[in-house]
Amino acid sequence: MFFVPSLNKLNLRTNPHLRLIAGQHRFYNLREILTPAREHHFGVGAINCRRLEIATAVLNTAFKLRAPVIIEIAESESEYCAITPKELADHVLKKTNELTAKYDYYVPICLHLDHLKNNFNLIDQAIMAGFSSVAADQSHYPLEKNIEMTQKVVKKCHPLGVSVEGEIGEIQSAAAGKEKNLDANLNRYLPTVPEVVKFVSKTKIDAFAGFFGNLHGEYLETPIIAWQRIIDIASAIDIPVVMHGGSYLHTEDFDELEVFRHAIKCGCHKFNYSTKLSDIFKAYLPAALLQEMENSVAEPRNWRKALGPFKEKIDRLDPEKLKNAEKAIENHLELMMTNAWLSKDKLRCYKS
């Protein structure tokens, strides 16, 4: 059973977050926010928010640039961010109403539960809080089991107006991500076009994510991206394609900004982005606290994400430092929205 009984009685008109806000506007679901991106050839940044300051920076930048945005929280991020779906939804709704009043317009915003693998109770929490989209990441299962599990999520979410992102290929696979000869063995891990067509057809998902190379997170080897496979898959299905990762993405052929622009040309329109924003935030933390954070995490790379366990200590810091961190994140996101995802001034592509 995926959902608590009370969720089946959810009335979207009385939900405090999904009901109409700012006049005639509400949170967009994933299909609604990505369809114009696909039609008009731009991308939408999907930001995992490990602190509420990051969510604030995302919203400030989106409104300033008149850009659509996806704000996320992930099951896998729970140990790093210590933000519940309700806390994030409440914060986003409050800030959105403030910014709508300030600018006298509303930008498309999607609230997305990312990388759901095991804790399906999070779907209950997210939808009851007002999230408009979930990622049913069942890619750790064989294809038929993946289809079965994803179908169950779609069956529950779609009647509520909530979109579902599905996935084939374990993006964080150690073998795929760290393998030294990935270039020669890449095809062993890539989803095939027939697999994806079958998956999309049977599940009725709203966006497709797949393993397209070792671009997710930070890797010892130069990132390798299967551009042609992305093109083939995007051409074969009628829903948007998602590129996970990219916070530290460089190749010999493309710099970081060009990678995203090229991905848009190949058919990707949702880009998950988070680790670099945590790094920017941490640049404003005291050295002693950073050392304590690094010493607390067994996996060296994960300490960079671990903002949640130190929430209380960070909360007690000089508010001006946190405001400066927020502003630095805004400056970086302005660069990404303008020159990487090409989402600046795309409010015009959405119906008012």
The span from the CA of 298 to the CA of 340, in Å, is: 33
Q: How far apart are CA 227 and CA 293, in angstroms?
A: 37
In order, the DSSP letters of 14-70 are T-TTTS-BTTTB----HHHHHHHHHHHT--EEEEE-SSHHHHHHHHHHHHHHT--EE
Q: List beta partners, residue 111.
A: 71
Task: Specify the range with the lowest mean pLDDT, choosing from 45-54, 116-125, 294-303, 320-329.
Answer: 294-303
Closest CA to 79 of 330, 332, 293: 293
The whole model's pTM is what?
0.89
Q: Is the pLDDT of residue 287 over 80?
A: yes
Query: How much is the mean pLDDT over the chain?
Result: 83
Asked whether residue 174 carries a pLDDT value surpassing 80, the answer given is: no
Q: What is the pLDDT of residues 306-328, one digit of tens each?
A: 677 788 898 999 999 999 999 99
Res 278 pLDDT > 80 = yes
Domain residues for the domain of 108 are 5-349
Q: How many domains does the structure of the chain reveal?
A: 1
- pLDDT, greater one: 337 or 157: 337
Q: Which tops the pLDDT comparison, 280 or 8?
A: 280
Rounded to a whole number, what is the distance in angstroms from the first to the last CA of the chain?
A: 38
C-alpha distance from residue 201 to each of 31, 195, 268, 281, 291 (Å):
16, 10, 19, 41, 49
Question: Which value, to the nearest 10 degrees, does the dihedral of the CA atoms of residues 262, 27, 207, 226 take?
Answer: 20
Q: What tens digit of pLDDT does each residue of 72-99 get?
A: 988 766 666 678 888 898 899 889 989 9
Q: How far apart are CA 219 and CA 222, in angstroms?
A: 7
Identify the CATH number of the domain in which residue 233 sits: 3.20.20.70
For residues 254 and 83, which has the higher predicted lDDT (pLDDT)? Answer: 83
